Amino acid sequence: MQTRPTFQDALEALGFRGLRGVYANLPPAALYEEALRRGEGWLVEGGPLVVHTGRHTGRSPRDRFLVREPRYEDRIDWGEINQPLSEGSFDRLYERLLAYFRGRDVFVQDLFVCAHEGYRRPIRVITEMAAHSLFAHSLFRRPRPEDRLPHEEPAFTVICAPGCRAVPAEDGTRSETFIVLHFAKRMAIIGGTKYAGEIKKSVFTALNFYLPEEGVFPMHAAANCGREGDVALFFGLSGTGKTTLSTDPERPLIGDDEHGFAPEGVFNFEGGCYAKVIRLSPEHEPGIYRASTRFGALLENVVFDPLTREVDFDSDAITENTRSGYPIDFLEPIVPEGVGGLPRAIFFLTYDAFGVLPPIAKLTEEQAMRYFLLGYTAKVAGTERGVTEPEATFSPGFGAPFLPRPPEFYAEMLRERLGRYAIDVWLLNTGLVGGPYGVGERMPLPQTRALLHAALDGSLKGVPFEEDPVFGLAVPTSCPGVSPKILRPREAWADPGAYDEQAHRLRERFEEELRRFRL
C-alpha cells in the first residue's frame, strides 16, 4: 500500500537537507510560544504579538526580480518594476537558501488562496521565523476540516529566510536582499528582509500572472456587499482609505485588499487583512482597532511602552508604515465564504493632497480607463522620508508593483467587464478640501461615507450633475449630509485663481502620465 508523503518527504523533494526541526501547520498559540521563545517579538497588552522588522519597514521594490525564462518571457512587462534575473542566478540563490537552512528549524504552513471553489488552489509557505508562519496563517485561507491538502503538490510555494543574504557579485542581485519569483517553477524565494508583506505580495503577484489565463481579472481592490447582494469594489493605494471605507458596519466585508473578478462574480484571494495602523483609533476605525488589539494579531513596527506593554498607534518613531495582520473573521460583519456576486459599483480612491479634485465624480468608461491606468494619489509631508511637499504618485492599475503583465492588459480586462455588465464607476477623493497641503483640511470621514452611501443606495441617481471645467468629470450638485461648497472644490478655496493654477497643473501631469499608454 502506498503511503502518503510526509512533510519531510515534501521538503526533501524541494532540496532541503539536514534540517534541525520541522514545525508543520502549528496553530497561532504554538506559533506565539515559538516566536517569544526565539526572541522574535513581544507580547503586548490585549494579546497581540509585536515584531520589529529592522531596516526594512516596507517592501523593497528595487530588490524584487522575476526569473527570465523561455516559457513565460514574452508575457512579462520587463522594466524597473519587473526586473529580470537569469535562471542561473536563481539556481545559485536557491542553493544558497538551502545551504542556509541546514541545521536550522523551518516552519511550514499549508494554506489556500482564492475563496471561489472553481479557482481555489493550495500554497505552501516555508519560513525561518515563527512570526512569519503566524502571518501566513492569518493572511491566507486556512483549510477547513473537510479539506485534503496535497502536501506534495502545492500550486505555489514561498520560502522566506530573512537571515539568508545574497552575494550581489555572484547572484546578480542589487543588494543582499532578494525577492525572486519564478513562474515556471511556481515559487518565490525571499531573503534579507523581515518585512512580512513580501510574502503576501509575492503570492498576489503570482495570482496576477496566472489567473488571467483562467478568465479572472485580478484586482488590488477591497470588496464589500450590501443587504441586497450588491457588491462594491474599492481600488486605492496606501493611505487613500481602501481598508477604512470597505470595512463598513452596514455592508459585510468580502475582503480588504486583493480579489478576483470572474464571470461568476467577485472572490477574495485571502483569508486575512494587512492593515496600515498608523494613528489607528477606536473612534474612527473601531473594527480594525478591535482586530488589532487582541490575541492572534501580528503588529509590525508598532511602538509600545516596555513597562506597561500598551501600544501607541500614534507613534511613527519606527516608521509611518506600521501594520497589523489578522484573520478576516476578527472583523464583523463579513461574508465568511469570501465570495460575492457581480459588482454594481467601482470606486477609484485617491488622496488628492493638492485639494483640486472633487470629492466624488461619476466616470464614463473612457474616464474609467484613464484613471485606472493613472492609479493616482499624492504623498504628503511626513509619510515618507524626504517628502516635504505634496507629490503626485502614479501606480497603474492601483497596484503597479504587483502587475507582471503590461498595465494595458489589465485595463482591457476591466474595459471588457464594464462593457458587459452594468457597473457604475466613481472617483472618490478622500484628500484635501479648501486648499493644498498646509492650507486645506482632509475631507471629513463622515462626509466621505455619506457620499459613498449615496452612490451605493441610488440617492445620487435623481440629482443633477455638472461638468467639472478642468477635469471634465461629472459632479453631483447636491448630496444629503454634504455641503454643496465641498462638492465644488473651487468654491472652497479662498483664492479661486490659485485653485485654477493648481488644477491645471495637475491635469497636465495626468496628460503627461497617460502618454505612456496605448489608450
At 414-468, the pLDDT tens digits run 999 999 999 999 999 999 999 988 899 999 989 999 999 999 999 999 899 999 9
**C-alpha cell read off for 93:** 540563490
**For the chain, what is the domain count?**
3
In angstroms, what CA-CA distances link 188 with 108, 199, 205, 406? 15, 8, 10, 21
347 and 326 fall within a common domain: no
| Contact between residue 451 and residue 479 where contact means Cβ atoms under 8 Å apart | yes
Q: Domain of residue 14: give its range.
A: 7-39+58-214
In angstroms, what CA-CA distances link 419 with 63, 217, 369, 416? 38, 14, 12, 5
Please tell me the predicted confidence (pLDDT) of residue 381.
Answer: 45
Read off the CATH number of the domain in which 418 is found.
Answer: 3.90.228.20
Continuous H helices in 50-129: 87-101
Please tell me the predicted confidence (pLDDT) of residue 144.
Answer: 75
Instruction: Tell me which of 178, 196, 214 is where a domain ends.
Output: 214
Read off the CATH number of the domain in which 321 is found.
Answer: 2.170.8.10
- Other Cβ atoms less than 10 A from the Cβ of 451: the count is 27
Backbone phi, psi, residue 229, to 5°: 85, 10
360 and 313 fall within a common domain: no
What value does the mean pLDDT take over residues 333-338?
Answer: 96
- Other Cβ atoms less than 10 A from the Cβ of 400: the count is 20
164 and 15 fall within a common domain: yes
198 and 112 fall within a common domain: yes
Positions marked catalytic? 59, 201, 220, 238, 242-243, 257, 323
208 and 296 fall within a common domain: no
Please tell me the predicted confidence (pLDDT) of residue 239.
Answer: 84
The phi-psi region of residue 332 (left if phi > 0; otherwise alpha if psi is between -120 and 50; otherwise beta) is: beta
**Which of helix, strand or coil describes residue 178?**
strand
475 and 365 fall within a common domain: yes
Read off the CATH number of the domain in which 31 is found.
Answer: 3.40.449.10
> Could you tell me which residues come within 8 angstroms of residue 177 by beta carbon, excluding any fewer than 6 positions away?
56, 60, 63, 165, 166, 191, 192, 193
400 and 300 fall within a common domain: no
pLDDT exceeds 50 at position 387? no
pLDDT exceeds 80 at position 515? yes
Q: Does some domain include residue 234?
A: no
294 and 349 fall within a common domain: no
Instruction: Tell me which of 286, 305, 330 is where a domain ends.
Output: 330
Cα atoms found within 13 Å of the Cα of residue 478, Cβ hemisphere only: 4
Question: What digits encode the pLDDT tens for the residues 389-415?
Answer: 678 999 999 999 999 999 999 999 999
Instruction: Check residues 500 and 145 and name the one with the higher pLDDT.
Output: 500
Q: Does some domain include residue 252?
A: no
Q: Does some domain include residue 51?
A: no
Band of pLDDT at residue 149, cut at 50, 70 and 90: low
Q: Does some domain include residue 242?
A: no
Instruction: Tell me which of 169, 195, 214 is where a domain ends.
Output: 214
Beta-ladder partners of 341:
none
184 and 75 fall within a common domain: yes
Give CA–CA dist 112/41, Å, rounded. 26
Average pLDDT, the chain: 94
Strand boundaries in 6-86, DSSP class E: 21-24, 42-43, 49-51, 64-68, 83-86
Q: Does some domain include residue 96?
A: yes
Taking alpha carbons only, the member of 144, 179, 483, 199 closest to residue 337 is: 144
Backbone phi, psi, residue 399, to 5°: -175, 40
Band of pLDDT at residue 384, cut at 50, 70 and 90: very low
348 and 326 fall within a common domain: no
Query: In the chain, what percentage of residues exceed pLDDT 70?
Result: 96
Taking alpha carbons only, the member of 473, 260, 468, 511 closest to residue 376 is: 511
Give CA–CA dist 336/476, Å, rounded. 35
Roughly what angle, to the nearest 10 degrees, separates helices 407-420 and 365-374? 150
346 and 314 fall within a common domain: no
Band of pLDDT at residue 386, cut at 50, 70 and 90: very low
Cα atoms found within 13 Å of the Cα of residue 458, Cβ hemisphere only: 4
Q: Does some domain include residue 24?
A: yes
Q: Does some domain include residue 479?
A: yes
Q: Does some domain include residue 72?
A: yes
What value does the mean pLDDT take over residues 175-201?
Answer: 98
Beta-ladder partners of 232:
224, 345
Give CA–CA dist 132/126, Å, rounded. 9
379 and 325 fall within a common domain: no
**C-alpha cell read off for 89:** 542566478
- Other Cβ atoms less than 10 A from the Cβ of 420: the count is 10
Cα atoms found within 13 Å of the Cα of residue 444, Cβ hemisphere only: 8
> Could you tell me which residues come within 8 angstroms of residue 285 by beta carbon, excluding any fewer than 6 positions away?
244, 247
pTM beyond 0.85: yes
Polymer length in residues for the chain: 519
